[in-house]
Amino acid sequence: MYSISNQLIPDLILLALPFLILIVRLCSKRTTVMPWRIANLGLIATFVMLNMIPLTNSEGAFFLSNWRVDDFGVLMREVFVLSGILGLWLAKDYFDHGADGKPALMHITEFMATLIFATFGGFIVVSACDMLTLFLGLEMATIPMYALTAWNKRDQYGSEAATKYILMGSVATAFELFGFSYLYGFAGSIHFSQIASATSAGTSPLLWIALLFIFCGIGFKLTLFPFYTWAPDVYEGAPTPVTAVLSVTSKATAIAFLVVLLYGPLAPVQDKIVPLVALLACTTLFVGNLGALKQSRLRRFMAYSSIAQAGYIMIALLGPGYISKTAIVYYLFVYTVANYLAFFVFGVIGHYRPESFNSLRGLSKQNTLLAVALAAAMFSLAGIPPLAGFFGKFHLFFSGATAGHYMVVAFAVLNNVLALYYYLQVIKSAWADEPEGELSPIRMVKRQRFVVIALLAATILLGVLPFVSNNVFTGFTF
Amino acid sequence: METLLFNLIWLIPLLTVIVCIPVPKTNTKLLKGIHTFSGSLVLALVGYLTYFVYAQGSAAVHESAAPLLLRFFTDIPWLQAFNVHYIVGADGLNMFLLLLTAVIVWAGILVSYNIKGNQKVFFALIQMLATSVYGVFMSMDLVLFFVFYEMEALCMYLMIAGYGSGNKDYGGKKLTLTLAFGSSMILATLFGIYFEGGVNSWSIMELSKVTLPMEFQMWAFPLMFMGFAVSSSLFPFHFWSPDGHASAPTAVSMLAAGVMMKMGAYGCLRVAMFLMPEAAKIWLPYVVLLLIFNVVLGPFIALRHKDLKYITAYSSISHLGLIFLGLAALTPVGLRGASLQMISHGFLTGLFFATIGMIYERTHTRDITQMGGIMRKIPFLGVGFVIAGFAGLGLPGFSGFVAESNIFIGAFQQGDTITRIVTILAILSITTTAVYILQTANRMLHGNMPAKYESLTDGCFREKLVIVVLVACLLLIGVFPGWISDLLDQSIAPIFAKISQAAAPVVGG
């Protein structure tokens, strides 16, 4: 039914989708909802098609071996598409109505097209077989995000955030390209297989310089210490749905980039890179946790929380490839679900009140569903069982411990207590604090209610139900 | 059949939560009915299974569970990527702890009928907490155990922050974060145990068949033991307990002090000491020194407090210290005493917090200097409180006496001089316990009654039922300790065998 060459179908659908909706938008009336429907349909079709690709050990290589569809790639594509769908749904409310009755954002078709292009950037990263494609993917995932950050033209904070983002981002890109050029100088080729044979033949200072620059570049995109400082400002300035997409899609793209490099061309020297990865992981999660302790605005808080999460994900990179990849894919699923759940709750509240901790007060008395959903999202991000976040972190730590890095794992586990403190701060606002004065009413449209319930169920069940990890990951070998 | 019923113990509370989701939150009568029914059902179920275990005696235990004498053994692969299995089973010790939990959960549901706020969520959280505790006392796989063990942090914080009194956020956070600190120490060592054990299994039985490397045990045992001891409020990690209890609603205090604090002691015995007996022999004598605070100073601190919940919390700290004294004795009698004390203290502290909650509901204060003479108005509750106090100071006839005498005998059998000195101090500290119990009862229940308490009414049928059942449990263990200690001895035997077989440790090797 589904032959190997059809592994490209999801990629082709997703690539055609933005052009299609832009053309439909051009040819129809201003108030049309067709582009929105087509985009949803296309993304869901992509997701379904991805699920129909059997997970086998085979690698599909296409276009002169420059495009590869392997198990990790397929599962990462699912993460990207899932994040894209949820991002669109979250954004839809901002195009419909705002706090003052006026929509917060305009031009939904163009927004969707830009978002889908960013998603496709992730596809390119996980399919890359040479440095040029890899770079192309990373940029394709990043440049639309610059535009999305400044989507609300009337909002000066958004423009400021976008300026900051694009300036820092381009410097990081320059660093990365510089690293790539040294890597080319070292290996004499940009193709992964040739770089791999060069690294297994021996190392040279050129390789370490290249790696250092590449880590600087990717450290920016993954918000690793000490390149994370842009994140809180950009996350706070960007519109809420864009912040959600930033914290999931662009983080997933960056981590996929590292996985592709570390377990691909750099696999022979992976054990030598491990100390650097361990150092980056520990400092990042510690700094992220410390930064989140004293935040009072929700999006800024989520920025620091996502910095810390990036540190936790890095721990998986210490382990051998077959465990590390499953751990990262699984954690990204879990993280996507919990993060979007939090952002959906913030989005619902943000329509009626400012997005700060104080606005959450009295939520448990006003709307039980939202309060429970918020608590589940926060506990899942903090890694408390039986929620999915615990099992995700368990995967990550297991990967790190497999290679014997007990001390790193122990440090990360103890840091969880710090993380729990600030996630409890959010829950405290919603559950313990008494509201100041009369509470403005909160209404949810059908879509919001559906998404919140679905994500809540996923947060609770994703970890506990064994078939998720067994069926997906036992067939998922490398 | 019984195995299936056994697996239902932790499922019924969860199913109850799901059943209650469509019930509107304004229909509190129906909600209470469903939850009370579910609590009673689990109690009946656990009661039947305990009787079943008792009737079977030592015959026909499950063989693949060796060396433990487990019944109702179930082993289903769960997370195959890391060889995690769903393994549950129970021996006498587990069974009695489950029975204790069932009684306390049942009582906790009954005393929470008048809780303020969203009752639907509150009862759901109680049931989830119950699931967590049942799961801990059933699971024989370390990951499953940890999942259930850590789950309690989630429910505890929400219940204290949402439904507590006083400085509830502070108390709740202190409790949750301290417990999370303990669990993170446990999680860190669990990974070590799995990889150092080298049997690709998280099963307690499989891991107990290998001897973990000594260098690993030397750092892992204290980390894990203290991780568990945090939730049993062993000094220096006792500080969460008074503030946590003081701000928690009655049912949460009962569950926290009655059952959840036993999870730590149980974990020390079942996981830390059972899997790392060599290091246990080296480290436990030092634990005895920490106990001096718990056992000797705890009662003195209780003496100075005016708040009923603080008094009870410090009394719990001192009683839990005795459990550790029994464990540290490393003799069969001491271990039996420790297990008996876990069960006995669960009932008595449950009774303590239940009566305090009922009194607080009427007087709206927990300050004993504000009260006085209320015995005349609420004799039933007053007597319940006094009985709890007497059981706590180890009056013969109540369960406390049986447990404490076993602990003291067991600890004295240990030849170590320091252990003997601590034991003597512990026995002497019972006097202090008597002083604060009598002083509290005297100030609160006797003397001049402030006029505002004229209109107090004694407990209703529901409250009386809770008190009667808890007192009956205390008496039952106190008067007929034989049948319970026989089963406990059976289940302790393999643990003690493993400890006594442990090779003489090479220190500094």
Question: pLDDT (tens digit, 9 = 90+) per residue, B334-362?
Answer: 999 999 999 999 999 999 999 999 988 88
Torsion angle of the four alpha carbons A173, A175, A181, A184, in this order, in degrees rounded to the nearest 10: -90
**Helical packing angle, B332-363 and B379-392, nearest 10°:** 160
Q: Token pair 């809180």 is at which residue?
A: A232
Best B14, B187, B194, B215 member to test A by mutation, with max A CBs in 10 Å, is: B187
User: From chain B, which residues contact A within 8 Å (Cβ)?
Assistant: 25, 77-82, 117-118, 120-121, 143, 146-148, 150-151, 153-154, 157-158, 161-162, 168-169, 172-173, 176-177, 180-181, 184-185, 187-188, 191-192, 194-195
User: From CA A258, how far away is CA A246, in angstroms rounded?
Assistant: 17
For B300-326, write each residue's pLDDT tens digit. Answer: 998 888 888 899 999 999 999 999 999
pLDDT of residue A1: 41
Residue A73 inside a domain? The answer is: yes
Are A242 and A141 members of one domain?
yes
Residue-range definition of the domain harbouring residue A366: 275-478
pLDDT of residue B457: 83
Contact A424 B154 (CB under 8 A): no
Look at residues A326, A324, A317 and name the one whose alpha carbon lies nearest to residue A279: A317
pLDDT of residue A475: 46
Are A282 and A352 members of one domain?
yes
Task: Give the Cβ contact number of residue B386 at 10 Å.
Answer: 18
Are A65 and A88 members of one domain?
yes
Burial of A373 (0-12, 13-18, 19+ CB in 10 A): buried
8 Å CB contact between B200 and B83: yes
Best A384, A395, A459, A465 member to test B by mutation, with max B CBs in 10 Å, is: A384
Residues in chain A: 478
User: From CA B396, how far away is CA A460, in angstroms rounded?
Assistant: 48
Are A378 and A232 members of one domain?
no
Question: Residue A323: how many CA atoms within 13 Å on its side-chain side?
Answer: 21
- Spans of chain A below 50 pLDDT: 1-4, 475, 477-478
Contact B78 A473 (CB under 8 A): no
**Chain B nearest CA to A457, separation (Å):** 12
Helix (H, G, I), strand (E, B) or coil at A239: coil
Q: For residue B244, give the amino acid letter.
A: G
Look at residues A128, A234, A323, A142 and name the one whose alpha carbon lies nearest to residue A331: A323
Q: How many domains does chain A have?
A: 2
pLDDT of residue B28: 87
- Residue B77 belongs to what H/E stretch? strand B71-79
Are A255 and A116 members of one domain?
yes
In chain B the first and final C-alpha atoms are separated, in Å, by: 51
Which residues partner with A297 through β-bridges? A356
Residue A403: partners with Cβ closer than 8 Å, 6 or more residues away: A274, A318, A319, A320
Whether A384 has its CB under 8 Å from any CB of chain B: the answer is: yes
Are A220 and A319 members of one domain?
no
Are A13 and A106 members of one domain?
yes
pLDDT of residue B499: 87
Residue B506 reports pLDDT greater than 60: no
Best A331, A428, A478 member to test B by mutation, with max B CBs in 10 Å, is: A428
Are A247 and A332 members of one domain?
no
The ipTM is 0.89
Structure tokens at A440: 């403005």
* B168 pLDDT tier (thresholds 50, 70, 90): confident
Contact B191 A414 (CB under 8 A): no
- Residue A327 belongs to what H/E stretch? helix A321-350
For A175-184, write each residue's pLDDT tens digit. Answer: 999 999 999 9
Last residue of a domain, one of A265, A285, A307: A265
Contact A421 B173 (CB under 8 A): yes
Which residues partner with A191 through β-bridges? A130
Last residue of a domain, one of A265, A293, A322: A265
pLDDT of residue B132: 93
Residue B138 reports pLDDT greater than 50: yes
For residue A457, give the chain B residue with the closest CA.
B18
Q: Sort out which chain B residues have CB atoms less than 8 A from A387's CB and list them.
A: 154
Are A70 and A160 members of one domain?
yes
Contact A466 B80 (CB under 8 A): yes
Structure tokens at A277: 């990865």
How do A67-69 and B71-79 pair as beta strands? unpaired
Residue B301: partners with Cβ closer than 8 Å, 6 or more residues away: B314
Q: For residue B193, give the amino acid letter.
A: I
pLDDT of residue B24: 87
Residue A452 inside a domain? The answer is: yes
pLDDT of residue A2: 45
Residue A469 inside a domain? The answer is: yes
User: From CA B308, how far away is CA B359, in angstroms rounded?
Assistant: 10
Helices marked H in A205-297 — which ranges?
A: 205-221, 230-237, 240-245, 251-262, 270-292
Q: Sort out which chain A residues have CB atoms less than 8 A from B172's CB and list them.
A: 428, 432
Comparing CB atoms, the residue among B151, B153, B161 nearest residue A431 is B161
Q: Sort out which chain A residues have CB atoms less than 8 A from B169's CB and list them.
A: 428, 432-433
Contact B184 A404 (CB under 8 A): no
pLDDT of residue A101: 59
pLDDT of residue A455: 93
Q: What is the pTM of this model?
A: 0.92
For B358-410, write each residue's pLDDT tens digit. Answer: 988 888 888 888 888 888 888 899 899 999 988 888 888 888 889 999 999 99
pLDDT of residue A478: 41
Residue A357 inside a domain? The answer is: yes
How do A67-69 and B84-90 pair as beta strands? unpaired
Whether A352 has its CB under 8 Å from any CB of chain B: the answer is: no
Contact B188 A473 (CB under 8 A): no
pLDDT of residue A470: 54
Q: For residue A300, give the amino acid letter.
A: R
Residue A270 inside a domain? The answer is: no
pLDDT of residue B508: 42
Are A473 and A365 members of one domain?
yes
For residue B195, give the chain A residue with the closest CA.
A402
pLDDT of residue B503: 67
Residue A307 inside a domain? The answer is: yes
- Residue B4 belongs to what H/E stretch? helix B2-20
For residue B80, give the chain A residue with the closest CA.
A470
Residue B257 reports pLDDT greater than 70: yes
User: From CA B7, how far away is CA B18, in angstroms rounded?
Assistant: 17
For B180-222, write each residue's pLDDT tens digit. Answer: 999 999 999 999 999 988 888 899 988 988 888 888 899 899 9
Last residue of a domain, one of A207, A232, A265: A265
User: From CA A214, how far away is CA A222, in angstroms rounded?
Assistant: 12
Residue A275: partners with Cβ closer than 8 Å, 6 or more residues away: none
The CA-atom distances, in angstroms, between B481 and each of B54, B334, B396, B469 are 13, 15, 12, 17
Are A299 and A155 members of one domain?
no
**Chain B nearest CA to A157, separation (Å):** 34
Are A223 and A168 members of one domain?
yes
Contact A417 B181 (CB under 8 A): yes
Report, as an integer, the average pLDDT of B452-462: 84
